[in-house]
Amino acid sequence: MNILITGGAGFLGSHLCDALIEKGHDILCVDNFFTGNKSNISHLLTNPNFTLIRHDVTFPLYVEVDQIYNLACPASPIHYQFDPVQTTKTSVHGAINMLGLAKRLKARILQASTSEVYGDPEIHPQTEEYWGRVNPIGIRSCYDEGKRCAETLFFDYWRQHKLEIKVMRIFNTYGPRMHPNDGRVVSNFIVQALNNKPITIYGDGSQTRSFCYVDDLITGMIKLMESHKSITGPINMGNPSEFTMIELAELVIKLTSSRSKLKFKPLPEDDPKQRQPNISLAKSKLNWSPKVSLEEGLNKTIIYFKNLLDK
């Protein structure tokens, strides 16, 4: 098939390009390189089944494809708060443009949504039926509400135009090709530990996250796209194993043999206290669950960052 991946030069997008090329598909990778990096897909540039277009999804795109994976949007707080208006436009205008393209082509389209639609949740773990607790005017709202609006648009296109849609809610994902300065906790901790610098923990370190290795996430994403058209989602994808920030920091220090010490700072505004997916739907509908343990995934990620820092 001819498959369009928006945000294809980003962390997740580049791994998706690899996986779909390996399956024999022709890939059209679209990215404006705000957070994507050409180095993530440089190994694919000479592949005859791979095409790269520099384009911003807030503008219409006229191409011919069979499937669309819509991954375009900065996903780390540092990047999405840099230009919050553009972040909202990327989620909302980008969704409108990609849904319009899918409607014209009668193509199946997948939206990479996020666990951030749950905000700072009152229920734990989070199920797809939970509507969330999001601050609509906070500093994270550009991302949270942008993604929530994108989900609204997807389901309205499904109801109004009978479009084949897939919506997945991605929980914390990590692995090689994360941006070293994206402010996400795994990349932060690893880079700080490799440099023997203090590891920055916000709050008292008791807040929790659940970390899914990128290979597991991409497998689930493709399974959802290839599932029966009646499975629209939204569907949670992530690793339900839950860790406190202190537990993560101590494990990273151990795996890197670092001399780093912990340094505590105030908790940022609207930072969720708990985040853990209920993945019962993914298990029952897609026969998907993560396989890679946190220690195994961290070791692979540490090797990537070590090579990056050694260059």
3-class SS at 235? strand
What sign does the dihedral 239-295-220-286 (CA atoms) show?
negative
pLDDT tens, residue by residue, 140-156: 999 999 999 999 999 99
What sign does the dihedral 189-126-280-144 (CA atoms) show?
negative
Q: What is the mean pLDDT of residues 38-54?
A: 97
- At the topology level of CATH, where does 2-173+213-238+276-290 sit? Rossmann fold (3.40.50)
pLDDT at 181: 82
Q: What is the mean pLDDT of residues 53-77?
A: 94
Q: Are 161 and 153 in contact (CB under 8 A)?
A: no
Catalytic residue of the set 69, 80, 118, 143 = 143
Query: Is 69 designated active site?
Result: no
pLDDT tens, residue by residue, 202-261: 889 998 899 999 999 999 999 999 999 999 999 999 999 999 999 999 999 999 999 999
Q: If you search the block for the tokens 């319009």, which residue do you land on?
A: 100
pLDDT bracket for residue 311 (50, 70, 90) = confident
Q: Are 6 and 98 in contact (CB under 8 A)?
A: yes
pLDDT at 270: 64
Residue 65 to residue 57: CA distance in whole angstroms: 16
pLDDT at 132: 93
Beta-carbon count within 10 A of 271 CB? 13
Predicted TM-score (pTM) of this structure:
0.94
pLDDT at 301: 97
> How large a percentage of the chain has pLDDT more than 70?
99
pLDDT at 272: 72
pLDDT at 79: 77
Task: Show contacts of 244-247: CB within 8 Å, 24+ apart.
Answer: 244/205, 244/206, 244/207, 244/208, 245/185, 245/201, 245/202, 245/203, 245/205, 245/206, 245/207, 245/208, 245/209, 246/201, 246/205, 246/206
